Structures are given as structure tokens and as C-alpha cells.
């Protein structure tokens, strides 16, 4: 599937809105989960790819012992810039890096970890090969990806709400990219293509997504993700209208005030 370049563009006000609205909405419980899984393996040197605004980085810094070195990378410098303003309890090395071409020597990390970034890789097998290349023998690659959009209620409702607003070309970013890499067989095939010979462990983890209001959910998705790029490419003057439509759909489905919906992801671990 060909994806537009705008799918991977997190710039302008998106990083700030992403951190304010989307991180607490859907990312924090999975960051806690990944950090716990990694801590149980006692790595000495960890590489995070696609770190975004650092929600997993902060969880790793809190959960891993101080002697564990953490290097956090992302393709988008704007996301790293925002992450670095949020502060950490311990030193972390931040570096702009493309997961397809990691700027590190072979076999330099005990673990590579990635939270909800693999869906954005243009060539999954090539990116997985890079993760394997920088892993030491016996090291582990752990990552998570969102399950099908129908298993993630807020994203599904927002996507459906936008279709009648742009009937000739509805924005499909959420279904196409964040929720577009959920097939277990495809994940296993791409890991094999990246050189991982061991069978991966894949578990499905469901959680609850909560927000103070339907408006907060709509802001998260419509303005805190590259869905905003799709909306503005169609008609920038309609961003507020579209966000309001998303909020109305969430409110109609989940009620007013605090809202609660299902989220679900696959967590993948494979050893080098």
C-alpha cells in the first residue's frame, strides 16, 4: 500500500497536541507495559526507535536501573525537540535517526524497543533488519502495533465521522497507517525478512482509553496526528468544523462528560 508522505509528518503544533491529548488517551498504558517487559530482561544498553514525544522513554527511564544506557531516536526532530522539553529523572541520549538507516555500529545494544512506530516504516523488513543489525547476539527486539481499527473504538468512530464530510476522498490516515499493520502473519513474515530466525512471541493486549470529554478525543485524533495533514490538504479552513464533527460522533456514541472506550494492540518480542 502506498502511503502519502504526510502520514509520517509530525510538525507544527502536532507534537504539542499529540503530547497533551493523544499520549494520555492511548499511549501511557502501553508504555508502562513495554517498559515492564523490557525491565524483566535486564538489558545494559537500550535503543528506542520512533520515540515520538518520549512517553515510552520516560517509562523506561523510570523503570530501568540508572546504570542502563538509553538512546532514544525519532525520524521527526520536532517530536524529539518537544520530548526534550518535558524533562527526565535521569540522562538519556536523544538522536534524530531514521529507523531504516540507524546511525549505530553493529551489535551495540542489548535491546531495541519501539512503541507504535513499526506501522510507519515504509519497508518493514528493512527496518527490522536494521534493528537486528544493532542488536547483540541474544538481544531482544520488542515493539507494539495497534490492532485493527474496529478494535479501537475512538479511532473507529472518528474515522467514520469524517467520511460524510469528504465523501469523494475521505481521510483514512487512522485506518491506513496506525491501524494498518495488525496481521500477525504479515508481522512474522516481515521479521523473517529482516533476518530474525527465532519465532516471535506475539500477545494481544486490550486496555481502556479514557478522556475528560468527547472534545478531547477529537482534538487528539483530528489535530494531534497526521490526520490533521489530510484534513488541511482537503480544506484547511474546515479543521475546526471537522474536529467538532468528530467530537459530536464520540459524544453520541459514548455520552457527554468523561468518555471510555476500548483500545487494543499486539505486543511482539523476538530474540536475535
Write down the pLDDT at residue 6: 61
What nine digits make up the cell of 91?
540522562
* pLDDT tier at 12, thresholds 50, 70, 90: confident
Mean pLDDT of 167-172: 96
Write down the pLDDT at residue 1: 54
Architecture of domain 5-271: 3-Layer(aba) Sandwich (3.40)
Contact 194, 132 (CB under 8 A): yes
120-155 pLDDT, tens per residue?
Answer: 999 999 999 999 999 999 999 999 999 999 999 999
Distance CA 30, CA 60 (A): 12
Position with higher pLDDT, 105 vs 6: 105
Write down the pLDDT at residue 70: 98
**Comparing 2-6, 201-205, 223-227, 249-253, which segment has the lowest mean pLDDT?**
2-6
DSSP state letters, 123-158: SHHHHHHHHHHHEEEEEEEEEEEE--GGGSHHHHHH
What is the pLDDT of the chain when averaged over all its residues?
95
pTM exceeds 0.85: yes
52 pLDDT higher than 70? yes
7 pLDDT higher than 70? no
Looking at the chain, the whole-number percentage of residues with pLDDT higher than 90 is 92
Write down the pLDDT at residue 34: 98
Strand partners, 234: none
Distance CA 114, CA 220 (A): 21
9 pLDDT higher than 70? no
3 pLDDT higher than 80? no
Which residues lie closer than 8 Å to 41 by C-beta, 6 or more apart?
110, 111, 140
**Comparing 8-12, 160-164, 244-248, which segment has the lowest mean pLDDT?**
8-12
Amino acid at each position: 500500500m502506498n502511503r502519502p508522505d504526510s502520514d509520517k509528518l509530525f510538525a507544527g503544533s502536532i507534537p504539542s497536541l499529540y503530547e497533551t491529548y493523544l499520549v494520555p488517551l492511548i499511549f501511557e498504558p502501553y508504555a508502562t507495559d513495554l517498559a515492564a517487559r523490557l525491565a524483566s530482561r535486564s538489558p545494559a544498553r537500550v535503543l528506542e526507535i520512533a520515540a515520538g514525544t518520549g512517553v515510552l522513554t520516560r517509562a523506561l527511564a523510570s523503570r530501568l536501573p540508572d546504570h542502563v544506557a538509553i538512546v532514544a531516536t525519532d525520524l521527526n526532530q520536532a517530536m524529539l525537540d518537544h520530548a526534550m522539553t518535558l524533562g527526565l529523572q535521569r540522562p538519556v541520549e536523544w538522536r534524530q535517526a531514521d529507523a531504516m538507516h540507524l546511525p549505530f555500529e553493529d551489535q551495540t545494544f542489548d535491546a531495541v524497543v519501539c512503541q507504535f512506530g513499526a506501522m510507519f516504516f515504509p519497508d518493514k523488513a528493512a527496518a527490522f533488519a536494521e534493528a537486528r543489525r544493532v542488536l547483540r547476539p541474544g538481544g531482544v527486539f520488542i515493539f507494539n502495533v495497534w490492532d485493527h481499527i474496529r478494535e479501537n473504538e475512538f479511532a473507529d468512530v472518528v474515522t467514520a465521522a469524517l467520511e460524510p464530510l469528504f465523501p469523494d476522498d475521505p481521510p483514512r490516515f487512522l485506518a491506513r497507517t496506525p491501524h494498518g499493520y495488525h496481521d500477525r502473519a504479515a508481522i512474522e513474515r516481515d521479521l523473517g525478512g529482516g533476518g530474525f530466525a527465532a519465532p516471535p512471541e506475539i500477545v494481544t493486549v486490550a486496555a481502556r482509553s479514557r478522556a475528560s470529554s468527547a472534545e478531547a478525543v477529537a482534538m487528539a485524533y483530528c489535530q494531534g496526528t497526521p490526520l490533521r495533514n489530510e484534513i488541511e490538504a482537503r480544506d484547511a479552513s474546515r479543521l475546526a468544523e471537522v474536529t467538532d464533527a468528530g467530537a459530536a460522533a464520540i459524544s453520541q456514541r459514548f455520552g457527554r462528560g468523561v468518555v471510555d472506550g476500548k483500545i487494543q494492540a499486539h505486543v511482539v518480542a523476538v530474540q536475535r
